[in-house]
């Protein structure tokens, strides 16, 4: 097995690991190879947060962003994160954040003071999520509100303590004596790792190119390699289905695909941009998407997973695709053939041919998602229906984007998830709306069309009848909100099992 040595920074020192199989998870390396058993093994699928660790990544200065190179801190699930993917990064586990004399970190001390632990199994994961919050907020002088604490801890589950004391701890740690990471020293060491990394071809099992030409060359040379981009789904194939891969092609280190580029009429989101950053770019254009963005899994999953990976995966209940379809997003596929780099662009919904199948050839990769900016007269909403409000998979997702002019529907774009083998556009419903007055009669006709347009299956999340009924009710909700009724008592319209 020809595998490169993994190098990362832990406790201020470079850790080097050789002969690590390509599908070995970070959690396995921590617990079994490094004897770091403080990080717990819970669900093995990124749902409970017991395995949470924090990664620090060298982030170059960008136009409009922080000046100079800086560290980006991300709490992630180590159970579904492949060990090779942290090469060149800094890592903190629950064993690493206390002072050398044993003084607890404020994230730990606050949990003690607020009585935030009972059985203790979930506690290491909560500590590390709190550590990530501390680095990203407290160290920048920001106050942690209750709302922020709830959002950032949504990927950590507790079965016995209860969340109130843990949320109290999140708010209290900022009042404790400050603790700082020596970022200047850490940045120097990360830069050394970046310059000393092996080139393309050094590893034939875990291939992680650094730029787009190298990525496309690798894809052409290894069309049989499994592509990974955050591994929040492929990681489940490893932990739950025990799948092994002879070759993996990781796109997350490609500098060109880690950017969000702003253009006059659209934003272009690289396939390697983490979901956290991708949703931030979308919310900056459309603030009403914020709640929906925060309900996409939990923060550790959004910190690892990428928008490009979610789109390329093509799950019929993938939350980002109905929204992107409604917003009129296009995808850009790229390849290298006969020594030349080429690309083709298409509407996102044209990418899919069937259940988790798409039009990409063996040498192609999804490189960019282009999302139009909002325009005058636009009204857009997206609704997610799930059994839990946070950290859950959709039963139904409905996204709508209408342009109104003088009370008339000029254009309509409707994306739907959870009702077919792929995320889909509601073409018949759109036709029912376009050119019609935006009134209750039009909406009622469109509700009937929308409920009849798809034949969803019944499964553990919802019945077929429930999904059809909910689709219509969500369109009714969109109408009510468009009439300025956001503050109505939504209990009057709440469906059994629906989160409003």
Are 150 and 212 found together in one domain? no
Classify residue 387 by burial, with Cβ atoms within 10 Å: 0-12, 13-18, 19+: middle
Q: Among 372, 399, 416, give the residue marking a domain's end.
A: 372
- Which residue matches tokens 């591994």? 231
Cα–Cα distance list, 212 to 260, 271, 364, 385 (Å): 15, 11, 12, 37
Query: In 3-state terms, what secondary structure has residue 75?
Result: strand
| 180 found inside a domain | no
Of 352, 372, 392, the residue at which a domain comes to its end is 372
CA dist 354 and 424 (Å) reads 11
Helix ranges restricted to H, 2-144: 26-28, 106-113, 123-136
Task: Judge if 346 and 396 occupy the same domain.
Answer: no
Distance of alpha carbon 453 from the chain centroid:
30
Q: Residue 487: what pLDDT?
A: 47
Supply φ then ψ for residue 306, to 5 degrees.
Answer: -120, 155
Query: What is the structure's pLDDT at 439?
Result: 97
Same domain, 436 and 323: no
Distance CA 297, CA 85 (A): 21
383 in the same domain as 351: no
Asked if the structure places residue 201 within a domain, the reply is no
110 and 140 belong to one structural domain: yes
CATH number, domain of 323, equals 3.30.465.10
CATH code at position 409? 3.30.390.50
| Tally of domains in the chain | 3
Decide if 379 contacts 401 (C-beta within 8 A): yes
Kindly state whether residue 192 falls inside one of the protein's structural domains. no
Q: Which of 372, 396, 425 is the last residue of a domain?
A: 372
Which CATH number covers residue 112?
Answer: 3.10.20.30
* Range of the structural domain that residue 446 is part of: 378-493
d(C-alpha 414, C-alpha 326), whole Å: 5
413 and 382 in contact (C-beta within 8 Å)?
no
Cα–Cα distance measured from residue 319 to residue 415, given in angstroms and rounded to the nearest whole number: 10
Q: Sign of the C-alpha dihedral, residues 103, 109, 115, 120? A: negative
Backbone angles phi, psi at 149, to 5 degrees: -60, -45
Burial of 154 (0-12, 13-18, 19+ CB in 10 A): buried
What is the per-residue pLDDT for 156?
Answer: 97
- What is the DSSP annotation of 328-389? T-EEEEEEEETTEEEEEEEEGGGGEEETTEES--TT-EEEEEEEEPP-TTEEEEEEEE-SSS
Residue 260 lies in a domain: yes
Residue pair 464/396 in contact (Cβ under 8 Å)? The answer is no
Report the length, in residues, of the chain.
Answer: 500
Contact (CB, 8 A) for 229 and 308 = yes
pLDDT score for 413: 98
- Are the C-beta atoms of 284 and 321 separated by less than 8 Å? no
Tell me: do 321 and 299 sit in the same domain: yes
| Same domain, residue pair 151 and 233 | no
Tally Cβ neighbours within 10 Å of residue 342.
12
Indicate whether 95 belongs to any domain: yes
Q: Please check whether residues 270 and 344 belong to one and the same domain.
A: yes
pTM of the entire predicted model? 0.93
Residue that is written with structure tokens 């801190």 in the block:
73
- Supply 334's token pair: 């790229």
390 and 341 inside one domain:
no
500 domain-assigned: no
Digit-by-digit pLDDT tens for the chain (500 residues) are 567 899 999 999 999 999 999 999 999 999 999 999 999 999 999 999 999 999 999 987 654 455 568 899 999 999 999 999 999 999 999 999 999 999 999 999 999 999 999 999 999 999 999 999 999 999 999 999 999 999 999 999 998 999 999 999 999 999 999 999 999 999 999 999 988 755 444 568 999 999 999 999 999 999 999 999 999 999 999 999 999 999 999 999 999 999 999 999 999 999 999 999 999 999 999 999 999 999 999 999 999 999 999 999 999 999 999 999 999 999 999 999 999 999 999 999 999 999 999 999 999 999 999 999 999 999 999 999 999 898 899 999 999 999 999 999 999 999 999 999 999 999 999 999 999 999 999 999 999 999 999 999 999 999 999 999 999 999 999 999 999 875 444 444 444 444 43
Evaluate whether residue 31 is within a structural domain: yes
Distances 459 to 236, 392, 418, 463 between C-alpha atoms, Å: 20, 15, 10, 6
pLDDT given for residue 4 in this prediction:
84
Residues 213 and 344 in one domain: yes
The answer to the question of residue 191 being in a domain is: no
Report the chain's terminal Cα–Cα distance, integer Å.
51
Neighbours of 198 (CB within 10 A): 12
250 and 313 in a single domain? The answer is yes
Structure tokens at 482: 């468009």
* 360 and 383 within one domain: no
Measured CA to CA, the distance from residue 395 to residue 385 in angstroms comes to 6
């Amino acid at each position: 097995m020809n595998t490169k040595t993994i190098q990362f920074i832990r406790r201020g020192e470079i850790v080097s690991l050789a002969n690590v199989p390509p599908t070995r998870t970070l959690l396995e390396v921590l617990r079994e190879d490094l004897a770091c058993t403080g990080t717990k093994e819970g669900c093995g699928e990124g749902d409970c947060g017991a395995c949470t660790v924090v990664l620090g990544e060298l982030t170059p200065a960008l136009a409009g962003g922080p000046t100079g190179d800086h560290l980006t801190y991300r709490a992630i699930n180590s159970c579904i994160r492949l060990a090779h993917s942290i090469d060149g990064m800094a890592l903190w586990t629950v064993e690493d954040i206390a002072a050398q004399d044993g003084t607890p970190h404020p994230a730990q001390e606050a949990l003690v003071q607020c009585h935030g632990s009972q059985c203790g199994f979930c506690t290491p994961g909560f500590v590390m999520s709190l550590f990530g919050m501390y680095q990203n907020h407290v160290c920048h002088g920001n106050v942690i509100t209750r709302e922020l604490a709830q959002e950032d801890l949504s990927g950590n589950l507790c079965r016995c303590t209860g969340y109130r004391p843990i949320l109290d701890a999140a708010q209290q740690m900022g009042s404790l004596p400050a603790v700082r990471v020596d970022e200047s020293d850490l940045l120097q060491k990360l830069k050394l790792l970046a310059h000393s990394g092996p080139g393309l071809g050094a590893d034939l099992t875990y291939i992680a190119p650094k730029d787009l030409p190298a990525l496309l060359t690798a894809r052409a040379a290894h069309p049989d390699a499994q592509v990974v981009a955050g591994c929040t789904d492929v990681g489940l194939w490893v932990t739950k289905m025990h799948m092994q891969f002879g070759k993996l092609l990781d796109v997350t280190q490609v500098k060109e695909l880690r950017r969000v580029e702003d253009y006059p009429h659209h934003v272009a989101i690289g396939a390697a941009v983490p979901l956290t950053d991708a949703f931030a770019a979308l919310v900056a254009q459309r603030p009403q998407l914020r709640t929906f963005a925060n309900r996409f899994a939990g923060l550790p999953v959004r910190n690892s997973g990428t928008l490009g990976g979610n789109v390329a995966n093509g799950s019929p209940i993938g939350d980002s695709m109905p929204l992107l379809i409604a917003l009129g997003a296009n995808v850009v596929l790229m390849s290298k053939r006969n020594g030349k780099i080429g690309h083709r662009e298409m509407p996102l919904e044209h990418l899919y041919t069937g259940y988790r199948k798409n039009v990409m050839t063996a040498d192609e990769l999804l490189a960019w998602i282009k999302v139009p900016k909002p325009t005058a007269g636009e009204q857009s909403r997206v609704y997610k229906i799930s059994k839990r409000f946070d950290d859950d998979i959709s039963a139904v997702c409905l996204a709508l984007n209408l342009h109104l002019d003088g009370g008339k529907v000029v254009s309509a774009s409707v994306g739907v998830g959870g009702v077919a083998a792929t995320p889909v556009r509601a073409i018949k419903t759109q036709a029912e709306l376009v050119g019609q007055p935006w009134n209750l009669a039009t909406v009622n006709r469109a509700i009937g069309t929308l409920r009849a347009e798809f034949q969803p299956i019944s499964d553990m999340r919802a019945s077929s009848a429930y999904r059809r009924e909910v689709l219509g009710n969500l369109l009714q909700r969109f109408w009510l909100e468009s009439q300025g009724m956001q503050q109505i008592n939504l209990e009057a319209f709440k469906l059994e099992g629906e989160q409003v």
